[in-house]
């Protein structure tokens, strides 16, 4: 590959002049500039980032660590889409900033993280973003002090800058909207207990009930997922069965996520119920491939992955430029409710009022 010296020789100028043409950091005579540009084109010269970096000590690189690329476990799960959307949000900010994203994946095994960090440090990345597959607590090996780190979709005990979803508020907003539509008996099928989101969302569910003065009925809240994916359908079947046999059954099922809602559609229909005439269903995630494709389309809460990615990238850029503070606590990002045909309006809700709730 041609170097700046080759170009200089071809254009009969000094290497430094070629450098000036490339960077425009000092005036260059028009004829000289043309000659240099011609030589560059003729030789197919592309400047070497490595050499440039040697002097400037600026790599222009941002490192992203994710498991999206090769998740081995949980085969039926969305498999990386959350991380994909997060990375998309990150790219949305990093791209225009002139920096380049380097993405590495853990290959599903957490032990590889230190290796990846080391590789990134060798490339002298200016900042690091760690992306988790679902909202969780993590503990990463320490990185250098010089290189800022932002956690996304996760947090740690050390108070590392983090961006997480507002699960509590999301569930609250959905349930509040259901109540506004006239639902009062609201069943809730949860995800696994250990998941951070589960407790937060349960709290949000109770918040909304309390606000509306509706008593909390534990019989309406059933676990719809096991630790292992085995026999999941049966668990869900049993949970739904228990709830529907209640003396005062619910008018709507809130599901732990859209995928669970997809299963619930099948189970309810196999029991001969019509959706949404006989029973309403709501999900969580706004996993559009499911939510928008299902018949009827699914009412759900958006997990604002893209927005979180945007926020994480912004925070990282602030930290790099020295503006941001390391200790500013986690950023909590809420996503909107998407109201679709899977929930009946039992009475016309005062939507304008709810919009205020949504936007405050």
In the structure, how many helices (H) and strands (E) does the chain have? 13, 12
* 26 interface partner picked from its own copies, DNA, none, CB below 5 to 8 A per type: DNA
Q: Does 40 bind DNA (CB under 7 A)?
A: no
Contact 358, 166 (CB under 8 A): no
Distances (CA, A) of 102 to 96, 130, 195: 15, 12, 29
> Between 54 and 158, whose beta carbon lies closer to its own copies?
54
Nearest approach in angstroms of CB 356 to its own copies is 27
Cα(126)–Cα(130) distance, integer angstroms? 14
* 79 interface partner picked from its own copies, DNA, none, CB below 5 to 8 A per type: its own copies
Q: Does 4 bind DNA (CB under 7 A)?
A: yes
Cα(4)–Cα(45) distance, integer angstroms? 8
Q: Does 76 bind its own copies (CB under 8 A)?
A: yes
Measured on CA atoms in the order 128, 132, 133, 139, is the torsion positive or negative?
positive
Distant-in-sequence, close-in-space partners of 301: CB < 8 Å, separation ≥ 6: 170, 171, 173, 174, 283, 284, 285, 286, 335, 336, 337, 338
Contact 187, 254 (CB under 8 A): yes
> Between 98 and 213, whose beta carbon lies closer to DNA?
98
Q: Binder to DNA among 38, 41, 51, 79 (CB under 7 A)?
A: 51
Cα(340)–Cα(295) distance, integer angstroms? 10
> Between 91 and 280, whose beta carbon lies closer to its own copies?
91
Q: Binder to DNA among 10, 20, 209, 236 (CB under 7 A)?
A: 20
- Please choose, out of 90-98, 174-182, 183-191, 328-336, the segment that lies near its own copies by the rule CB under 8 A: 90-98
Nearest approach in angstroms of CB 3 to its own copies is 11
Distant-in-sequence, close-in-space partners of 127: CB < 8 Å, separation ≥ 6: 62, 63, 147, 148, 149, 150, 316, 317, 319, 320
For residue 136, is the peptide bond before it cis, meaning its omega torsion is within 30 degrees of 0?
no
* 80 interface partner picked from DNA, its own copies, none, CB below 5 to 8 A per type: its own copies
> Between 61 and 220, whose beta carbon lies closer to its own copies?
61
Site for its own copies, residues 145 to 174, rule: CB under 8 A: 146
> Between 117 and 187, whose beta carbon lies closer to its own copies?
117
Cα(140)–Cα(144) distance, integer angstroms? 12
Q: Does 357 bind its own copies (CB under 8 A)?
A: no
> Between 45 and 188, whose beta carbon lies closer to DNA?
45
- Residue that the structure tokens 């990093």 belong to: 94
Q: Does 98 bind DNA (CB under 7 A)?
A: no
Strand partners, 253: 187, 281
For residue 334, is the peptide bond before it cis, meaning its omega torsion is within 30 degrees of 0?
no
Contact 15, 4 (CB under 8 A): yes
Nearest approach in angstroms of CB 158 to its own copies is 18
Nearest approach in angstroms of CB 13 to DNA is 4
> Between 297 and 324, whose beta carbon lies closer to its own copies?
297
Q: Does 38 bind DNA (CB under 7 A)?
A: no
Contact 156, 138 (CB under 8 A): yes
Binding-site string for its own copies from residue 20 to residue 49, where x marks contact by CB under 8 A and - marks none? ------------------------x-xxxx
Locate 19 and state its tokens. Answer: 């450098």
Question: For binding to its own copies (CB under 8 A), which residues are involved?
Answer: 1, 44, 46-51, 53-54, 59, 68-70, 75-81, 84, 87-88, 91-92, 95, 100-105, 107, 118-119, 121-124, 144, 146, 233, 259, 262-263, 266-267, 269-270, 288-290, 292-295
Interacting residue ranges for DNA, rule: CB under 7 A: 1, 3-5, 12-17, 19-20, 22-23, 25-29, 31-33, 45, 47-48, 51-52, 54-57
């Amino acid at each position: 590959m041609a170097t700046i010296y080759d170009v200089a020789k071809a254009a009969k100028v000094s290497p430094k002049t070629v450098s000036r043409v490339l960077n425009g950091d000092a005036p260059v005579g028009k004829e000289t500039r043309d000659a240099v540009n011609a030589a560059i084109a003729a030789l197919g010269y592309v400047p070497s980032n490595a050499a440039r970096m040697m002097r400037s000590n600026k790599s222009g690189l941002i490192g992203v660590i994710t498991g999206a690329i090769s998740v081995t476990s949980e085969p039926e799960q969305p498999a990386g889409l959350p991380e994909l959307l997060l990375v998309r949000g990150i790219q949305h900010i990093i791209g225009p900033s002139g920096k380049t994203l380097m993405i590495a994946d853990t290959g599903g095994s957490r032990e590889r993280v230190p290796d990846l960090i080391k590789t990134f440090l060798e490339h002298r990345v200016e900042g690091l973003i760690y992306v988790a597959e679902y909202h969780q607590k993590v503990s990463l090996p320490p990185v250098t002090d010089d290189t800022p780190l932002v956690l996304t979709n996760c947090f740690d005990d050390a108070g590392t800058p983090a961006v997480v979803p507002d699960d509590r508020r999301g569930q609250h907003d959905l349930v509040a909207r259901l109540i506004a539509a006239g639902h009062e008996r609201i069943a809730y099928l949860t995800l696994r207990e250990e998941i951070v989101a589960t407790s937060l969302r349960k709290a949000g569910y109770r918040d909304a009930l309390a606000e509306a003065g509706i008593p909390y009925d534990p019989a309406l809240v059933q676990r719809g997922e096991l630790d292992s994916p085995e026999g999941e359908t049966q668990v869900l079947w049993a949970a739904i069965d228990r709830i529907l046999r209640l003396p005062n059954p619910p008018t709507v099922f809130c599901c732990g996520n859209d995928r669970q809602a997809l299963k619930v559609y099948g189970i309810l229909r196999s029991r001969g119920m019509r959706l949404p005439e006989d029973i309403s269903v709501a999900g969580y995630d706004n996993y559009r491939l499911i939510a928008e494709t299902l018949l009827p389309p699914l009412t759900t809460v958006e997990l604002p992955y893209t927005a979180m990615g945007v926020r994480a990238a912004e925070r990282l850029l602030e930290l790099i430029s020295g503006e941001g503070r390391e200790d500013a606590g986690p950023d909590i990002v809420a996503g909107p409710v998407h109201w679709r045909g899977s929930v009946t309006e039992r009475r016309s809700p005062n939507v304008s009022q709810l919009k205020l709730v949504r936007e405050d």
